Structure 1
Amino acid sequence: MRIGSKLYGAALALSLCLPMAAQGAEAAGKTEPTATPLSAYELYRIYGDKTWIWNTGAGRFVDDGRRFVAWTDDKGKQSFAEGRWVVDDLGQLCMRATWTNAEGAARASTCFGHRKIGNTIYQRRQPDGNWYVFRHASVRDDDEFGKLVPMDSVSAKARDLKQALQSQEVTRKGG
């Protein structure tokens, strides 16, 4: 038997079966649910006055003035951030802040997209991160959503880190 005839046979079988399968799915009303972006209000309810706990630090979404404050300690390299957080009706949350460490300061904007299918919320880092479940319809202990807590464990730590880095800067400049 030749390979060409096997491929021809498989192609013929697919061309006959796929239209019937598609028609059957349409008849049964089985269409894929579409993901819809979260509204700015929904995002505000999720993040407003919450602390997002990360592996190397945390960020605080202050309701008053939409201030964003954060700190990180990645293998002894400490930094803090001050800026703002914004949301939109396209399901996007952005943290726009100036990050400062012992080497200096730089502005950064980090955004996350949010979509929902039913009561399940998906999230990804913009622009090209992979989508993952942020909050299951029935919330699970390992949902990223669970890392958003009401307690402010960020502001005091970021303030202390800012003072420490500023005093290092003064010492380095001989003041």
Structure 2
Amino acid sequence: MPFFFNTARVLATMAFASGLIGSQLAAEQPDSQTPISKDSVIEIYVGKTWVWSAGGSYWAEDGSFFAIWKRKRVAVGTWSATSDGRLCYDATWHEAENSTGNDMKRCWRHVVDSQGVLWKQDVKNQEWYVPKNEFQTRLKTGNRIKSGVKRLRQRYGV
């Protein structure tokens, strides 16, 4: 009997907590979703490297996309911006010599809420967030990953 009682109490507590967490997450989204323009998306990313914890991605002026991850994976593809505020890349990731690679497409939505605050959503996981200082701290002018991309492309024959 004590085992059931404790299990029931734990389950009830988890259900209550998940309800609170779920409601907090649901509240963290823009109150309105006016997409930023295609030109605005391009202006934010073109000619810049998005610096990650263990790599980065470069959004070239000609629509080329390059990325590296942990000095052993390289992506080569294209990127685009859309009139509904999306930034997308479509690339093949390689991590072995002569591999066919893994195709991947990722997109992020950019909208403005009723107060004029810019929000960003990873379309894959549907989570919204306010980029705050992301564009100032993580987007760097120029191709900061060029040498790493070149080295890995040569190594893997892509």
Asked if these proteins are the same fold (TM beyond 0.5), I'd say yes
**Matched-pair contact (CA < 8 Å) for 2:108–2:123:** yes
**Matched-pair contact (CA < 8 Å) for 2:106–2:124:** no
- What percent of counterpart residues are identical? 27
**Other-structure match for 1:128:** 125
Whole-Å separation in 2 of the counterparts to 1:100 and 1:154: 16
1:22-171 map, 5 Å: 34-63=32-61, 65-73=62-70, 78-102=72-96, 104=99, 105-117=101-113, 118-135=115-132, 143-146=133-136, 147-166=138-157
CA 1:165–1:85 in 2, change beyond 3 Å: closer, same or farther?
Answer: same
Whole-Å separation in 2 of the counterparts to 1:144 and 1:110: 18
* Deviation (angstroms), 1:119: 3.9
* Deviation (angstroms), 1:46: 0.2
SS of the equivalent of 2:109 reads strand
Gaps of 5+ in 1: 1-31, 136-142, 167-175
Whole-Å separation in 2 of the counterparts to 1:128 and 1:160: 32
Task: Give the number of aligned pairs.
Answer: 125
Gaps of 5+ in 2: 1-29
Whole-Å separation in 2 of the counterparts to 1:52 and 1:131: 18
Task: Tell me the TM-score normalised to structure 1 length.
Answer: 0.65
Q: Which runs of 4+ in 1 moved over 4 A?
A: none
CA 1:79–1:127 in 2, change beyond 3 Å: closer, same or farther?
Answer: closer
Greater CA radius of gyration, 1 or 2?
A: 1
Could you report, residue by residue, the CA deviation over 1:55-89 in whole angstroms, capped at 9, with x for unpaired residues? 120000000x210011111xx7x110111001101
- Structure of higher RCO (CA pairs closer than 8 Å, 6+ residues apart): 2
Task: Tell me the TM-score normalised to structure 2 length.
Answer: 0.72
Whole-Å separation in 1 of the counterparts to 2:85 and 2:33: 11
**Matched-pair contact (CA < 8 Å) for 1:48–1:62:** yes
* Deviation (angstroms), 1:45: 0.4
